Structure 1
Amino acid sequence: MIKVKTIIPVLISFMVLSCKSEKHEFPLEKRFWDVNDYRTITLELNYGYEDDEKLPSISDPETRIIVEKLTDHQNYEIVLNDEELGLKHRNKVADEFFDRWKDMNNVYRIRDVQDKYLYDIELLKVWHFGLGLQLRYFKLGNDNILASSDDPNSTITQNRLNFNVKTLIGNYNIYLDETINEEAFSDKGKTLFAEGIDIYFSQLIELYPDADFSEMERKIDLMNAKSNHGKIKESLSKIKSLIESKKIRNNYSK
């Protein structure tokens, strides 16, 4: 009888764990996730979990790998950065990844009764994934416009290129808007938010040093006035200084 009582709880525990692992399946054995994987995964994350069920998170050792793979920039870089692949093909894949990223945005936008993000680190990693993706997405789009144009210097072509860059800058400004909600983030989240400004906004400005960043400069001033977090204010100020340095260099070279 003693042996039976000892074995039964172990078996029950094993069955519960097995059911839990089988309920949500992710292709963790794959080195890179492609757009088809993302389609299935975002569908599962958005609609496959009960309201009271915990989503994969960085703080959970068992599900941390899911978040890490979901937000791994190499998943899109492996295709979009491969110049041996056709430009049109890479544009198509970039477009599909962009759509999947929009689906990812809905996964972790959950707040508690105090209006704090329950998954702020995961949410920020998703946003950073999108910031990095968009740099390549819009660049490939403009490369395709130039490759398909009879006259790359024509007014029509240049207007299309400038419109895309303006759209990209506008999308980045949406990230800055979250400064208003900085109190919804944990201390680690606020630091990670600032790191996103440091990394991706610097890349944006270096990629398009001649672009019109006047709207972003105004946004930075507004958000700097709103923020009470030292690291965020510092990151905003550094980006504005970088923009101003590019303007000075551009004026000097004219």
Structure 2
Amino acid sequence: MIKVKHFLFIVSYLILTSCNSKNHQFPLDKRYWDPNDYDKVGIELRFNYESDEKLPTFDNPENKIIVEKLTDEQNYKVVLEDDELGLKHRNEVAEKFFAEWKDMSGIYTATDRQDKYLYDIEMLAVWHFGLGLQLRYFKLGNDLLKESADDPDAQQVKSSINSNVNILINNYLFYLDEVNNENAFTEAGKVKFAGGIDKYFSELIKLYPSANYSGMKTKAELMLKKSESESIKTSLEKLIALITFEGSPNL
């Protein structure tokens, strides 16, 4: 287990009994989950639920705490934003969280026979967890590049950092791809999806205002033409405007 300041190491488990009497174990008494916890919880949710067994959801008072803990961004923020910890250590922890998020991103993606998401709110919460995580993961990696370089202002270092930022921006475009699946969302899901654009994309542009967002702007414009949701269209319009004014040097 990763030794991180403020983590609780005494683990106790809440045992939930499902309708088919199968027990599921989650470390709910821990204040924060570390990557090892995410690995165990991810395996439990991906492989130990029967096909007819409903996963934990926000609207189920008996097990909502599980998905709340799963998508709690404080789990990684408590480590990655702790400046008292070493940069290399935080970068290593961020990399492990990122790997776990990639695994957990498929937990809530199931659809029904009408191609509607069964867990759109939970799926989007997992998405948002990952969008926020990536902002910190890539920044820590770039900070480590500069700290480790003999000359942080060397062209090679700048090129590596710019390449990483471009990868981050491209990763964010996958979220916008979900506009193509707009009809699979509930109305509440569409509002939550739009909220993700408002929050995380604005944070991205604020963090890297001089990056090249031309591809993102083009993507947003195309998705704006396809969307029929007023909340999503409004968020896309705000994103396009933000890129135009904040990222204009690289358009």
The alignment's TM-score, normalised by the length of structure 2, stands at: 0.90
Aligned residue in 2 for 1:201? 201
SS at match of 1:31: coil
- The one-character-per-residue Cα deviations of 1:217-248 (angstroms, maximum 9, x if unpaired) are 00001100110001101101101111111145
Identity of aligned residues (%): 57
Q: Distance between the aligned counterparts of 1:21 and 1:217, measured in 2?
A: 50
The 3 A distance-change label for structure 1 pair 17 and 104 is closer
17-26 vs 136-145, which deviates more?
Answer: 17-26
Alignment partner of 1:176 is 2:164: no
CA distance in 2, matches of 1:155, 1:18: 57
| Structure that is richer in helix per residue | 1
Q: 1:126: which partner in 2?
A: 126
Give 1:4-153 correspondences, 5 Å limit. 23-153=23-153
Aligned residue in 2 for 1:13: none
> Against the structure 1 CA distance between its residues 84 and 43, is the aligned structure 2 distance closer, same or farther, given a 3 Å change threshold?
same
Number of residues of Structure 1 aligned to a counterpart in Structure 2: 235
1:242 aligns with 2:242: yes
- C-alpha separation in 1, matches of 2:174 and 2:99: 17
Q: Secondary structure at the residue paired with 2:198? A: helix
Return the letter of the residue paired with 2:140.
Answer: L
> What is the deviation of 1:153?
1.7
For the Cα contact (< 8 Å) 2:209–2:246, is it kept in 1? yes
In 1, Cα distance between equivalents of 2:153 and 2:37: 39
CA distance in 1, matches of 2:134, 2:247: 23
- For the structure 1 residues 19 and 112, does the alpha-carbon distance in structure 2 shift closer, same or farther, using more than 3 Å as the test? closer
| Structure 2 residues not aligned, in runs of 5+ | 1-15
Which amino acid is the alignment partner of residue 188 of structure 2? K
8 Å CA contact 2:17, 2:24 repeated in 1: no
CA distance in 1, matches of 2:241, 2:19: 54
Q: Which amino acid in the other structure matches residue 209 of structure 1? A: P
Give every structure 1 segment of 4 or more consecutive aligned residues whose post-TM-superposition deviation is greater than 2 Å: 16-22
- Provide the rounded CA distance (Å) in 2 between the counterparts of 1:65 and 1:53: 17
Aligned residue type for 1:128? H
Task: Describe how 1:208-219 pairs up with structure 2 within 5 A.
Answer: 208-219=208-219
- 1:9 paired residue number: none
Contact 2:212 2:247 in 1 (8 A): no
Partner-residue secondary structure (3-state), 1:141 = helix
Q: 1:10 maps to what in 2? A: none
Amino acid paired to 1:73:
E
The C-alpha deviation readout for 1:10-62, integer Å capped at 9, x for no partner, is xxxxxx95997871011111111111100100011111111111111112111
* 1:24 match: secondary structure: strand
What SS does structure 1 have at the residue aligned with 2:25? coil
- Provide the rounded CA distance (Å) in 1 between the counterparts of 2:194 and 2:72: 19
CA distance in 1 between counterparts of 2:234 and 2:241 reads 11
